[in-house]
Structures are given as C-alpha cells and as structure tokens.
Amino acid sequence: MESAVSLHSLVKTFGQHRAVDGISLEIPRGIIFGLIGPNGAGKTTTIRMILDIFRPDSGEVKVFGMPAGDQVKDRVGYLPEERGLYRKTKVLEMLAYQGSLRGASPSAARQEASDWLDRLELAEWKGRKVEDLSKGMQQKVQFIGAILGKPELLILDEPFSGLDPVNQDVFKDLMLDLNRKGASIIFSTHQMDTAEKLCREIALLNKGQIVLGGTLSQIKSRFGKNSVMVEFDGDGSFLQGLPGVARVDDYGQYREVRLLNGADPQALLRAAVERVTVRRFEIMEPTLHNIFIEQVGGHVAHA
C-alpha cells in the first residue's frame, strides 16, 4: 500500500538557516505517527511542506502517492500550531466555511459542522460569535475545523499545547477514535511523554535532520532494557559516582539511571540500599526523553 506521506531528501532554507536539512521519511497509512523534537527542530517547516504551504528548495513530497498540491489538500485535515478563528463570525458559520474550503457544498459543510458541535457539547453556541466563546471552547472549535470533511490524513501541529487537561482528553479520545476509523494521523510535539503514549511510529528531529526513526518498540529495544527507576528518601548524589552508571536524570520524585552495557542493576540496588531508604526500584526501558537526550547530546534544553 502507498504510504500516507513519503518525503525524499527534503531541504528548506530560510536565508542562512537550514530549517530542514535532507529529511527522508515514509509514514505508513493508518497509524498515529509522531514528529518529535525540540522547538526549532524543523517540525513545522516539514509539515508545511507536506501541505504545500512551503515549497521545498529540493527534494520531493508525496501524499498518498501524489505530489503535494491542491487535490491533496482536500484529503488532509490540518490543525496548525498557530491557529485562530474569525472573531466576529458565528461559530457555525466559521466551521461551515472551513468545511466548504475542503470541497463540501456550503449546506453539507454546515450540516457536518453542526453535527460535530452537537457531539462536542457546543450545540447552544452555534449562533454565537467566536469571540464570546471561552478559550477551551475555541480550541474545540478549531479542532472540529481540522477534522471536517473526514480527512484521510490528519496533521496536528502541537495539538496539546495550551490545552487544559479536560480538553487534552477530549482531543486524545477524538484522535484515537478517528484513527480507529481509518484516518492516518501525524502529530508533532515536543512533549516526549505524550508521543510515547500515542504513537506507533516516531521520527526524532533535531536541527533539521532525523536523528532517530522507526516504531517505538524497535527504538526502545535497540537501546536495551538498561534503565532503572529509583525512588528513595535521602541524598541521591552518590548515584552519579557508582560504577556502571552512564547518566542520572533527576525528576524530583524519582531518578532515572541509565546503565552502561553489561552493568548489573542488582549491584546498583545493593549500593543504594546501603545509603538511602529505597521506596521503589524498577528496571525498565529508557524513556523517549532519555533516548532523545542521548542521541542529540545534553545541549538540548529539557522540553
């Protein structure tokens, strides 16, 4: 089957800055794919090239096997990171307009928008102006705008940023539901834990390049089960000096310790018990966050 999106040696520069520097990527259909990386890694630029908002300097973009362009846009729903609404327009009209831009007739778009507003408990707001809505409601309306017209591919740029926990759940459930009904989803985020929960496959971007890609399980197994999570009372500064320890990440409540290949976790446990009161000790796969930090070096700010 054709990939949902395939990118080949994509390059985009702005002045002196290479925002995207030779990205090649196959995103299969039907999965939730995470485009992950710190701010400025080139995620948004890549997405904009997939949508033909930017033209690449070189390289090739194909969506469902077709070159990016006008016909493709009708099959893709897009929620940009910078998203807004016409403030003075009525909610239903705003959405009907967005739906009609994806190829529907005005009346059909209106009907679909109306159904979604009912479903997301915004029915009574249909006739109100956008500016009367709370921020959380506006976010829902924006999300509906992206999924009108049953897009085969949904591209969400930082969909969870700025959302309250309730809406985060609403969005997450919607995403999973749409995915189950067959939509391919690409979403970008700099929150590694969200990506870890939702994505089957990911690509890690840094400085315009893919530093790591594949299914989450592949990636994790490649790094081995050599992480340890320790929760304890007392001074934990000794951990860094122990033999076999590669690095220690302090999360406040607990620490994640990466071991060198071949190091014995049991030795670590013994050393810890001698010095502090251990409340929890767990051998686990490294978190995406740690993998990423390891890959790009510690000079990337914690996201």
Partner 1 sequence: MHKLLMVIRREYLERVRKRSFWFGTLLLPLLMVGLVVVQLFLVDLETGKQGKVALVDATGKLSSIFESKLAEEKTKDGKPTFLVEVAPVAGSLEETRRRLEPRVLSGEFLGIVTVGENLDSDSNFRFYARNVGNITAQKAIQGALKAAVVGLRLEKSHLNVGPEELKKLLAPVEMESFEVKARGEAKKRGFDEAYFGTFAFVMVLYMSLLLYGVAVMRGILEEKSNRIMEVLLGSLTPDQLMSGKILGIGLVGLTQVAIYAASAGLLRLYVGLASLQAGWTGALDAISFTTMGYFFTFFLLGYFLYTSLFAAVGAVCNSEQEAQNLQTPLVMCLVIPMVMTFFFVAHPDSPYAVVASLIPLFAPMLMFMRIMVLTPPFWQIALSILLLFLTIYLFFRGVARIFRIGVLMYGKRPTVPEILKWARG
Binding interface with partner 1 (CB under 8 A) = 48, 51-53, 70, 73-74, 76-80, 82-87, 89, 97-98, 100-103, 106, 142, 145-146, 155
Q: Please, what is the minimum distance in Å from the beta carbon of residue 92 to partner 1?
A: 13
- For residue 88, the minimal CB distance to partner 1 (Å) is 8
The smaller minimum CB distance to partner 1, of residues 26 and 52, is found at 52
CA distances from 69 to 29, 55, 60, 73 (A): 19, 10, 12, 6
Is the CB of 151 or the CB of 236 nearer to partner 1?
151
Long-range contacts formed by 199-202: CB under 8 A, 24+ apart: 199/31, 199/32, 199/33, 199/34, 200/31, 200/32, 200/33, 201/27, 201/28, 201/31, 201/33, 201/34, 202/33, 202/34, 202/35, 202/36, 202/288
Chain-centroid distance, C-alpha 301: 18
* Residue number with CB closer to partner 1 (7 or 47): 47
Q: Taken in order 167, 169, 171, 177, is the CA torsion positive or negative?
A: negative
Closest CB 282 distance from partner 1, rounded Å: 43
Cβ distance 38 to 14 under 8 Å?
no
Q: Amino acid identity of 30?
A: G
CB 265 to partner 1: min, Å: 48
Minimum distance from residue 289 beta carbon to partner 1 (Å): 28
Specify the length of the chain in residues. 303
Distance (Å, rounded) from C-alpha 265 to C-alpha 267?
5
Task: Output the smallest distance, CB 141 to partner 1, in A.
Answer: 11
CA distance 56 to 53: 10
- In the bound state with partner 1, the residue whose beta carbon lies nearer, of 48 and 220, is 48
Helix (H), strand (E) at residue 95:
helix 91-100
3-state DSSP call for residue 60? strand
Q: With respect to partner 1, which residue has the nearer C-beta, 82 or 274?
A: 82
Kindly tell me which of 4 and 76 has the beta carbon lying closer to partner 1.
Answer: 76
* Cα–Cα distance, 290 to 302 (Å, whole number): 10
Q: CB-wise, 37 or 77, nearer to partner 1?
A: 77
Strand partners, 257: 228, 248
Comparison of 103 and 234: residue with beta carbon closer to partner 1? 103
Q: Tell me the closest approach of the beta carbon of residue 73 to partner 1, in angstroms.
A: 5
